[in-house]
Structure 1
Amino acid sequence: MEVKNNLAVIQSEIDTAVAESPYGQQPTLIAVTKYVTIERAQEAVDAGVMHLGENRIEGFLDKKAHIQNVTMHFIGSLQTRKVKEVIDNIDYLHSLDRMSLAQEIQKRATKKIKCFIQVNVSGEESKHGIAPEDVQSFVQSLSEYDNIEVVGLMTMAPLDATDDAIRTYFKQLKQLQLAVNALGLPHAPCTETSMGMSNDYKIAIEEGATFIRIGTKLVG
């Protein structure tokens, strides 16, 4: 199916979820294009999606080189040794999860990078991310890193979680984001929440997501 048709269905579902959310905020849609060609990603852009997300450096740089006038999100785990290859091409990083990565970004970036702190709300051992109870201290420890702006928090719900469990995880992330925002830290406005994918974005929006990451349902 054409991306524009998929987008129309998704946008309708987004509008419904926004209307049912106490936050009432229209989220930014990121097309996750890691499994598709440059041509298919361009089709998403032509349909009106202006944010692309990739989780591999090679795919990220290929899309960045060939697709113009889009905002690029790196949404995968970023190895410290790979930071220098990609950091100045990133508009948003969704996976800041350790001090060694922050230190390398500070060292290598030549501009301020908008970063989401990845939070392991579900506590899964297989997932990257900072424990919820450590988020505020981690954010505060970044105050001297002038190449990093903590714009928000990111999480992923387990694929096999029930809707009720997913809602609980997303609600917890939203409350964490509001708590960090309330600290009033200049380097960490933390106004955003990146949560929700093809299988759970409607719940994420209802619980206050400001960025959603949709791949399969949008571009295949």
Structure 2
Amino acid sequence: MKHSSSKRIIYGIQGGKGSFNEEAIHYYLKREGISRYRIKYLYTAENVLRAIEEGTIDRGQLAIHNSAGGIVDESIEALARYKCEVVEKFAIKISHALMMRNDAKPSDITAIMTHPQVLAQCRRNLQKKYPKLIQTSGKGKLIDHALVAKKLGEKKLPKSVATMGSRILAELYHLTVVEDRLEDLKENYTSFLQVGRPHSQAGRT
């Protein structure tokens, strides 16, 4: 379905630049033929749904389910606290790479900091290949692995920390890829929701 409206649509997404949410929104925009848009990187499901409630974005996007990791708890917990209307649902195939600072060596790494869903999707391979590495997730906006990658690229996180996510992050933030395709399932799909204000509230200011 092609969108011909001249209105620029503002999308708020759960991730940052290089996140799977960004990959998903660009997939969707291309599929729907939407050319007039703006993307706000809001990092967390809570921020996305708050922005919908406050009317600062037209649509919000968040990951809801993965074929290996199951339900995305962060999203479900946020959805329970806010009223919204689901307007789209779609899925994309994703793959995870392990990445470190470009001045680090693999032997420097003691911990992997990434989104809990990424860890869930790679659980078996991480246990098999990197059993000694601590698995952790950041607090607040740092739950987003794209932001962790950005902080690593800026040398604001120590050499001992690695992250996992799309290989695109290594290119964006000048990281070194330690290993690629660490997801447990070859057919690893994540489903995304796009949400708007409830219909009864859409006309309110």
- Which has more helix, going by share of residues? 1
Length-normalised TM-score, structure 2? 0.29
Q: TM-score, normalised by structure 1?
A: 0.28
Greater Rg over alpha carbons, structure: 2
Considering Cα pairs closer than 8 Å and 6+ residues apart, tell me whether 1 or 2 has the greater RCO. 2
Q: Which has the higher strand share?
A: 2
